Amino acid sequence: MKAFVTGGAGFIGSSLADELLERGHSVTVYDNFSTGNAQFLAKAEKQQGFALVKGDLLDLAALRTAMAGHDTVFHLSANADVRMGTAHPSRDIEQNTQGTFHVLEAMRENGIKRIMFSSTGSVYGEAAVIPTPEDAPFPVQTSLYGASKLAGEGLIAAYCEGFGFQSWIFRFVSILGERYTHGHVFDFYKQLKENPSQLRVLGNGKQRKSYLYIGDCVQAILHAVEHAADRVNIFNLGTAEYCEVLDSVRWICDELKCSPEITLTGGDRGWIGDNPFIFLETAKIRGTGWAPKLTIEQAVRRTVQFLKENEWVFAAR
Amino acid sequence: MKAFVTGGAGFIGSSLADELLERGHSVTVYDNFSTGNAQFLAKAEKQQGFALVKGDLLDLAALRTAMAGHDTVFHLSANADVRMGTAHPSRDIEQNTQGTFHVLEAMRENGIKRIMFSSTGSVYGEAAVIPTPEDAPFPVQTSLYGASKLAGEGLIAAYCEGFGFQSWIFRFVSILGERYTHGHVFDFYKQLKENPSQLRVLGNGKQRKSYLYIGDCVQAILHAVEHAADRVNIFNLGTAEYCEVLDSVRWICDELKCSPEITLTGGDRGWIGDNPFIFLETAKIRGTGWAPKLTIEQAVRRTVQFLKENEWVFAAR
């Protein structure tokens, strides 16, 4: 496979690039380094068949040129800051919707027809059915992030119908593990590093959330691409469990050996557009033979261990 | 109501503008006249409280200025050429997705919080459930038009959650009636005008389609805005029936008093992304007290009558 990985210097993209190289595929990473990190590519850069192109999805000409000669696009580049959508509304639509459109146009112009896309469980909004299956009732969006990813999904599916593309669309829960650099574990770790005796938690701490370990995520993606052959293949990715925010706090504090006083800001959600209960039905991806190896608790603990060993990521952000 | 109508010089927009003025509201039409027609505003221009601004949705600064002082936005401007999406892929995303984003941003900057949006039954793709209700299983998109409208819906819903907007989103079947200027009746009429003895029909003619009369459409929109008070109000609009393409051909030929030889291009759909069966469940909008006055057959016949009396629209396109 001649893989082209957008956002390949990011958390998930660089992990996927490493695994593709490990399996003997060639990989070109395309990243604007707005949130990606060159250090995440240190391992990849030593492998045969690896190339790096610094570029932005909004630069269609550069994207088109860089993409030439590849056969499969793993489109992971995105503005992933779901929480801050309302602070800069144009960022999601530019990076996620317009960016995805450019990826599709560059593929079309290069005659490339296979695309894997990192969507999100946020496209279900506040799901009417939990655990939420891929064919849940038509959702109402509650975040610009979810809306921009849903728009990306729609464009990809339309290109499959209109131009004979084939796609694998993954609706992720939050991903944890090595190279993780944003999200609640990151925020809690940072607070506790500054003051181990105090922790401020958004909402009432009872929000029920789902997580998946990065290694399991990468394996699931490559497994699905190999085992699912529809024109449009949509899979939820997650474990068959969820946890409460305060469970996660307990595991994090245990790893850090601290017992902070916890301040809850209150309310059933942490911020506007926060979803108090995320739990995806993952029977479809498990039906292809994939299963996660780590539980949510193990994933949270591994993430804390990674942050302990890599505190430079706090400065790098 | 101080109404701001994007696409207000178009088929549906100008009909809505007329009705709003009739009811005593003030109306500003914002249109780039790419497909809109100044003659459709001849009646409106004689009314008190009417204003026209020639402008494009892609010009955010102009849109923002024009929108100041209004309280409700009727966002009807769109690239509505569902059939030709693959010939110019950027048109749908620019006009429908980016355009909708600009409308939302201009509203936010002006403190306007009420938006009515013309979406489409095409967002259901090839629906798994027919008649298709608003909460049908999460659809897979089959056209750039549908995908771009779905993206617009998602952005609107996210603005409702994030910025306290209120929205009325209408998933239309195809609309027929006075000022109708594109679609199958238009195409068939044009063919028969040139040669009344021959008619070429895309597909096998058995495609089952749904239509709604423009007068019923406008009444439904205003009825829903008055009677539905959720944050995000989504309604299918259509009649409780469908017809086959060849039914419509029969009514058109009857109105035109011709008996052409019919050539079917074959296949169960007319073009890539064509949907062989569109039939929306409209129990929700009927539950608010609205009901259509015309049947599909009556709507088709009225459309032919309008075209007979207004053949200038063929030259104007």
Cβ pair A108:B93 closer than 8 A:
no
Chain A with chain B: Cβ pairs closer than 8 A: 134
Residue-level pLDDT at A85? 61
pLDDT, average across residues A113-121:
97
Q: Nearest CA of chain A to the CA of B95: how many Å?
A: 13
- Please answer yes or no on whether A162 and B272 come within 8 Å at the CB atom: yes
Residue B125, min C-alpha distance to chain A (Å) = 9
Residues of B in contact with A128 (CB under 8 A): 135
Q: For A123-138, what is the mean pLDDT?
A: 96
Whether the CB-CB separation of A123 and A141 falls below 8 Å is answered with: yes
Q: State the amino acid at position B25 in one-letter form.
A: H
What's the confidence (pLDDT) of residue A179? 96
Report the chain A residue with the minimal C-alpha distance to residue B108: A89
Q: Write the burial class of residue B61 (CB in 10 Å: 0-12 exposed, 13-18 middle, 19+ buried).
A: exposed
A158 to chain B: which residues are within 8 Å by CB? Answer: 85, 141-144, 146-147, 273
CB A79 within 8 A of CB A133: no
Least confident of A32-36, A76-80, B48-52, B285-289: A76-80
- From B289's Cα to the closest Cα of chain A, the distance in A is 24
CA atoms within 13 A on the CB side of B167: 31
Query: Rounded to whole angstroms, what are the CA distances from A285 to A73, A131, A149, A232?
Result: 20, 14, 20, 14
Please name every residue paired with B150 in a beta bridge, in sequence order, or none if there are none. Answer: none
Nearest CA in chain B to A160: B142
Residue A212 has pLDDT above 80, yes or no: yes
Distance to chain A for B22, nearest Cα, Å = 33
Task: Tell if the CB–CB gap between A140 and B232 is shorter than 8 Å.
Answer: yes
Q: Which of A123, A233, A275, A252 is nearest to A176 (CA)?
A: A252
Helix (H) or strand (E) holding A19: helix A11-22
Contacts 24+ apart (CB under 8 A), A304-310: A304/A185, A304/A189, A304/A251, A304/A252, A304/A255, A304/A256, A305/A255, A306/A177, A306/A178, A306/A179, A306/A180, A307/A180, A307/A185, A307/A186, A307/A189, A308/A255, A308/A256
Interchain CB distance below 8 Å, B163 and A86? yes
Query: Can you tell me whether residue B136 is helix, strand or coil?
Result: coil
* Whether the Cβ atoms of residue B6 and residue B73 lie closer than 8 Å to each other: yes
Helix or strand run (H / E) with residue B51: strand B50-54
Q: In this complex, do A162 and B85 lie within 8 Å of one another by their Cβ atoms?
A: yes
> Residue A138, CB half-sphere, CA atoms under 13 Å: how many?
23
pLDDT tens over chain B, length 317 residues: 999 999 999 999 999 999 999 999 999 999 999 989 999 999 999 999 999 999 999 999 999 999 999 999 999 998 876 665 677 788 888 888 999 999 999 999 999 999 999 999 999 999 999 999 999 999 999 999 999 999 999 999 999 999 999 999 999 999 999 999 889 999 999 999 999 999 999 999 999 999 999 999 999 999 999 999 999 999 999 999 999 999 999 999 999 999 999 999 999 888 777 889 999 999 999 999 999 999 999 999 999 999 999 999 888 76
Q: Which of B124, B145, B159, B189 is catalytic?
A: B145
**Would the CB atoms of B147 and A136 count as touching at under 8 Å?**
no
- What confidence score (pLDDT) does residue B82 get? 62
Model confidence band, residue A84 (pLDDT cutoffs 50, 70, 90): low
Which residues of B are less than 8 Å from A139 in CB distance? 138
* CA-based nearest distance A113→chain B, Å: 15
- ipTM over the 0.85 cut-off: yes
Residue of A nearest to B126 (CA): A161
Is A93 in Cβ contact with B101 (below 8 Å)?
Answer: yes
pLDDT at residue B85, as a whole number: 62
Kindly state the tokens that stand for B71.
């309280």
Residue of B nearest to A89 (CA): B105
Active site includes B30? no
- 3 state DSSP class of B274: coil
Interface test with A, best of B79, B86, B141 (most A CBs within 10 A): B141
Above 90 in pLDDT, residue A227? yes
Mean pLDDT over residues A225-246, rounded? Answer: 97
pLDDT of residue A75: 98
d(CA A294, CA A15): 16
A95, pLDDT greater than 70: yes
Query: What pLDDT is recorded for position B81?
Result: 67
Supply the pLDDT for residue A200: 96
Which residues on A lie below 8 Å from B137 (Cβ)? Answer: 135-138
Centre a 10 Å sphere on the Cβ of residue A124 and count the other Cβ atoms it contains.
Answer: 27
Using CA atoms, how far residue B223 sits from A82, B158, B170, B285, B288, in Å, is: 35, 24, 12, 9, 8
DSSP string computed for B180-205: --SSHHHHHHHHHHH-TTEEEESTTS
Tell me if A97 and B151 make a contact (CB, 8 A cut-off).
yes
Contact across the interface for A162 and B86, Cβ inside 8 Å: yes
Residue of B nearest to A92 (CA): B155
- Taking contacts as CB-CB distances below 8 angstroms, the residues of chain A near B86 are 162-163
Q: Which domains does chain A have, with CATH numbers?
A: 2-175+211-237 (3.40.50.720), 177-210+241-316 (3.90.25.10)
